[in-house]
Chain A
Amino acid sequence: MPGLFIDVQVDAAVAKDAAIAKKLEDACPVDIFEASDAGVTVVEANLDECTLCDLCIQAAPEGSVKVVKLYE
């Protein structure tokens, strides 16, 4: 189930990068990112737990990760 309040979008090219995936998984305090050799997947069930800490945005190349507030 997608988030009711938050959506996270990862740039398609960046999403396939295993090294960035690991950084994203490491950075997020609420486990929104799951890393594998194939790249990163967004864990939908955890989206609404997003604390807007921006650590994922800082961990990835500029502009490649977007956190969208669905209530705005």
Chain B
Amino acid sequence: MSILITSETKFIIQGITGREAVNLTRENLDYGSKIVGGVTPGRSGRDVYGVPVYDCVRDVVEKHGAVEGSIVSVPPGFTRDAVFEAIENGVKTIVVVTENIPRKEVAQMVELANLRGARIIGPNCLGIISPDEAKMGGMGGPAANTRQAYKKGNIGVMSRSGGMTTEIASTLTAAGLGQSTCVSIGGDAIVGTTYAELMPLFEADPETEAIVIYSEPGGRMEAELAEWVKENDSRLPIVAFMAGRFMDEMQGMRFGHAGTIVEGKEDTTAEKIARMEASGISVAERIEEIPALIQKRLAEKGK
């Protein structure tokens, strides 16, 4: 088991003929993912590494039946439309790779997804991987490099940083700790799916026995996770790595109070660490400490 994707998940790539998407197509196919089609308006009839290209998502669905997932890799100005198109054609898991999308457009995508029972991962993310099964997105790069970094196992990984997802997985793998599913959730102010929103999925996955998260300054996502862990009496031990400690010393001009009233005061890294530790999350100072902390927490649980 794993969460979000398996080797059976049928998905498409929107913007498949772009420089990054061409890469993604090859890497995902090589890793064993089931890509049934690609979309680039005006380019139907072509193929990218054997994946047929269509003008719109509806054409893919008509030809290949229901599509479960999509990777959206189109320029920022076209992303909202591409995501709407995927949602309205019944796609349920949408990985948005594109970065620099204004918040309003992200909010619009999330709102429509919620109405239609779809889930967005990202934007500005590397996607999802269930090691040795399939991946949907750029996690790990080419298949050979991906196999080097990711191995099947029992640790769930969630990260606001795409790059650090692979660094963390690679460190776990080197220590003999495989992963169930790793999710790069994206680093923007509004993301489709947060740490706390993924927790119920990991909680319900019998294969996942512990969680590692990457944490950095800004936002309320760690606070939200800490709350969730406490409120739901989670069975999963969590280890967090905190980056960007230097930011505490160089805070810029602080503006506005409205955000504080809405989401609560933004934590410094020191405050984030304290908040996570108070809810039972172990915090590592360096990446290389993560495996030992995980093993210690698992041993405490008798695993």
- Which residues of A come within 8 Å of B, CB atoms? 29-30, 51, 53, 55
Contact = CB atoms under 8 A, between A and B. Distances in A.
Contacts of A55: 22
Nearest to A55: B22
Q: Which A-B residue pairs are the 10 nearest by beta carbons?
A: A29-B19, A29-B22, A53-B22, A30-B19, A51-B23, A55-B22, A53-B23, A51-B19, A53-B26, A29-B18
Contacts of B26: 53
A55 B49 CA distance: 9
Interface of B: 18-19, 22-23, 26
10 contacts: A29-B18, A29-B19, A29-B22, A30-B19, A51-B19, A51-B23, A53-B22, A53-B23, A53-B26, A55-B22
A53 B19 CA distance: 10
A23 to B, nearest CB: 11
Contacts of A53: 22-23, 26
A29 B19 CA distance: 5
A54 to B, nearest CB: 9
A30 B19 CA distance: 7
A29 B23 CA distance: 10
A51 B19 CA distance: 9
Contacts of B19: 29-30, 51
Nearest to A29: B19
Contacts of B22: 29, 53, 55
Contacts of B18: 29
Contacts of A29: 18-19, 22
Nearest to A58: B49
A55 B51 CA distance: 14
B43 to A, nearest CB: 10
Nearest to A53: B22
A41 B26 CA distance: 27
A29 B73 CA distance: 14
A53 B25 CA distance: 11
Given A29-B22, A53-B26, 7 more contacts: A29-B18, A29-B19, A30-B19, A51-B23, A53-B22, A53-B23, A55-B22
A26 to B, nearest CB: 8
A55 B48 CA distance: 9
Contacts of B23: 51, 53
Contacts of A30: 19
